[in-house]
Amino acid sequence: MLGLAKRVGARFLLTSTSEVYGDPLQHPQVETYWGNVNPIGVRSCYDEGKRTAETLTMDYHRGAQVEVRIARIFNTYGPRMCIDDGRVVSNFVAQALRKAPLTVYGDGKQTRSFQYVSDLVEGLMRLMEGEHVGPFNLGNPGEFTMLELANVVQETIDPNAKIEYRPNTEDDPHKRKPDITRAKELLGWEPKISLRQGLPLMVSDFRKRIFGDHFD
């Protein structure tokens, strides 16, 4: 894609990820933080793949003058996600709707930040239409533990939903929260939709797709 952008003179967008920070030793994470990544762990193919993509993107920018933009996207949720994609918000919503226990890995105290999809789209558009290369953190600084997220899902769908604890996955980051100062200052962007506002919109879409349009 970078080669194509070079040939046709296109502006190239790399949708990178907060995973480039690995299991961060800095909190919240700013774009100048280089991260804390295990290069040979079970998550490394994703973490290091995205880090390498950022490297290649900047090499093409510096070496071939390709116009590039880099966004580091933090956890995003919303309608039309794959129901069984294994992401935590999809998991919890689908499990609660199906009356299955919500699976929490480890002690549930690890944190993530969840942004609604329309906020992300707005951020990406501002990034592509602006003059700054980045990288920019695009995420919602509202920080939730996995247990807090499970509680919001219970409140939204089924207060009686059970929580089932399972052993944690290897190299699971303990904390994740974006510092979005740079995006605020240079893109004039910040997320507007809180988890409690956005989650019901996703739930309504999941409910239709799991049970069909006839479900009341």
Report d(CA 215, CA 211) in Å as an integer: 6
Which one of 21, 33, 46, 165 is the catalytic residue? 46
157's torsion region: left (phi>0), alpha (psi -120 to 50) or beta? alpha
Backbone phi, psi, residue 148, to 5° = -65, -40
Report d(CA 203, CA 66) in Å as an integer: 41
What length does the chain have? Answer: 216
Distances (CA, A) of 187 to 15, 75, 130, 142, 184: 16, 20, 7, 19, 6
DSSP three-state, residue 15: strand
**What are the counts of helices (DSSP H) followed by strands (DSSP E) for the chain?**
7, 9
- 165: annotated active-site residue: no
Q: Are strands 143-145 and 111-113 parallel, antiparallel or unpaired?
A: antiparallel
Report d(CA 50, CA 63) in Å as an integer: 20
* DSSP state, residue 42: T
Q: Indicate which residues carry an active-site annotation.
A: 46
